[in-house]
A = this chain, B = another copy of it.
Amino acid sequence: MIDLDENTVTDATLAQMATTADPRLKTIMDAAVRHLHAFAREVDLTPAEWLTSIGFLTQVGKACTDIRQEFILLSDVLGLSAVVNALHDKKAAELGTQSSLLGPFFREGAAELPLGASIIANPSVPEIVLYGQVADNDGTPLPHALVQVWQTDEHGLYDVQAHADAHMDMRGNFRTDADGRYHFRTVRPLGYSIPMDGPVGKLVQNQGRHGMRPSHIHILITAPGHRELVSALYFGDDDHIGSDTVFGVSASLVVSAANNPDCPIPGLQSVRYDFRMPRAADNDTGRVGADPASFQPAAE
């Protein structure tokens, strides 16, 4: 029996995990263990700090519900989600529209609405129109693509925050027409603070960060044979466009509302955005289709 020290325990752990049957699980867990141990050694993590960290992660897990995903929020504020998105975009066989964060507020099963419908039940401000075309990277339109959108209302609240019963609002699913075109009515969402009432919000406060996200509309587009696109459009005149708490903004995703002559609904301000969907390569599913409540443990 060898007495393990803070360095040799790493190899001992890797040795004990060497029997992992799934090679990808082995690769990921080996790297996770090496980096986790290196982190603990670098900061000389004390037992009290370790226990505080255990408690923090436990509270993050406890804060997760059917309609709130605090671990995604943690990943977002630590920049991990942005790293994963950037790695994903880089692997594309061809560059399409850039990715942005899925975020913790996506919900499966929103209503499928006809083109031109509004996703806002009771708007208190003038509506705007979001419209454009979904095409592949050669410019060939993609008909019947599924366009899922979700956003905050004009007060900066998602449906699960605005409505006591959390009924779906400020979200909807659309299908592109024969020319790959989509359009719908909405309101300009307000930028907002990430939820500050949970453990991640407390951490962000303790880090002296403002916790704000600039005004944005989430988009998830699915078309057979193409990479699923998880992205968002950001309004460029928001005060926090350059300091997003979750690092989601890219220049190519910044938009502004204007009076566009080709807007399908005349008389309303509008945002035109055309999406480009790269072809799917092997193993590059952008996102597994699951709502937060149905996530499965790793490698089950």
Write the residues of chain A forming the contact surface with B, with a CB cutoff of 8 angstroms.
1, 3-6, 9-10, 12-13, 16-17, 19-22, 24-29, 31-33, 35-62, 64, 69, 71-72, 75, 78-88, 90-91, 102, 199, 202-203, 206-209, 230, 241-243, 245, 247, 249-252, 254, 283-288, 290, 292, 295-300
Contacts and interface: CB of A to CB of B under 8 A. Distances in A.
B31 A80 contact: no
Q: Copies per complex?
A: 2
Main secondary structure of the interface of A (DSSP, over half): helix
B71 A54 contact: yes
A207 B19 contact: yes
B202 A295 contact: no
A78 B36 contact: yes
Contact of A50 (B12, B33, B81, B299): B81
A298 B205 CA distance: 11
A233 to B, nearest CB: 14
4 residue pairs, one from A and one from B, having the closest CB atoms: A61-B61, A55-B295, A19-B208, A13-B79
A43 B31 contact: yes
A59 B297 contact: yes
A49 B61 contact: no
A86 B287 contact: no
Nearest to A51: B288
Contact of A58 (B28, B39, B61): B61
